[in-house]
């Protein structure tokens, strides 16, 4: 198995310093937010908290303005250095 991986590494083209395409960048941001906690005293990642908030928005057919108001209130309750997205636009790009 190790020999096969070594062979693959020598055959695979090097990407060098190329930037990943937009979809890959979005995927890497999502992976980062899955590992980043909302704040240091919680077990919720930024991605899990955002996914739950977006799910609630969808289940209850909330407007974007309502979602933004709820997130603003949550930000008032969280520590200032929290990593929760600040509005719907940033939540979609999490």
For residue 10, name the pLDDT band (cuts at 50, 70, 90): low
For residue 88, name the pLDDT band (cuts at 50, 70, 90): very high
Instruction: Using the predicted structure, report yes or no on whether residue 62 has a pLDDT greater than 60.
Output: yes
Provide the mean pLDDT of the chain.
86
Minimum mean pLDDT range among 14-28, 34-48, 49-63, 75-89: 14-28
What's the pLDDT at 8? Answer: 56
For residue 89, name the pLDDT band (cuts at 50, 70, 90): very high
Distance, in Å, from the CA atom of 90 to the CA atom of 10, rounded to the nearest integer, reads 40
Distance, in Å, from the CA atom of 62 to the CA atom of 14, rounded to the nearest integer, reads 46
Instruction: Using the predicted structure, report yes or no on whether residue 12 has a pLDDT greater than 60.
Output: no
Distance, in Å, from the CA atom of 94 to the CA atom of 48, rounded to the nearest integer, reads 10
């Amino acid at each position: 198995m190790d020999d096969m991986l070594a062979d693959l590494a020598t055959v695979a083209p090097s990407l060098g310093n190329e930037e990943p395409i937009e979809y890959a960048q979005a995927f890497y941001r999502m992976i980062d937010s899955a590992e980043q906690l909302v704040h240091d005293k919680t077990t919720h990642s930024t991605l899990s908290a955002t996914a739950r908030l977006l799910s609630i928005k969808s289940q209850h057919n909330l407007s974007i303005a309502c979602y933004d108001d709820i997130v603003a209130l949550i930000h008032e309750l969280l520590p200032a250095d929290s990593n929760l997205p600040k509005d719907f636009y940033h939540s979609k790009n999490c």
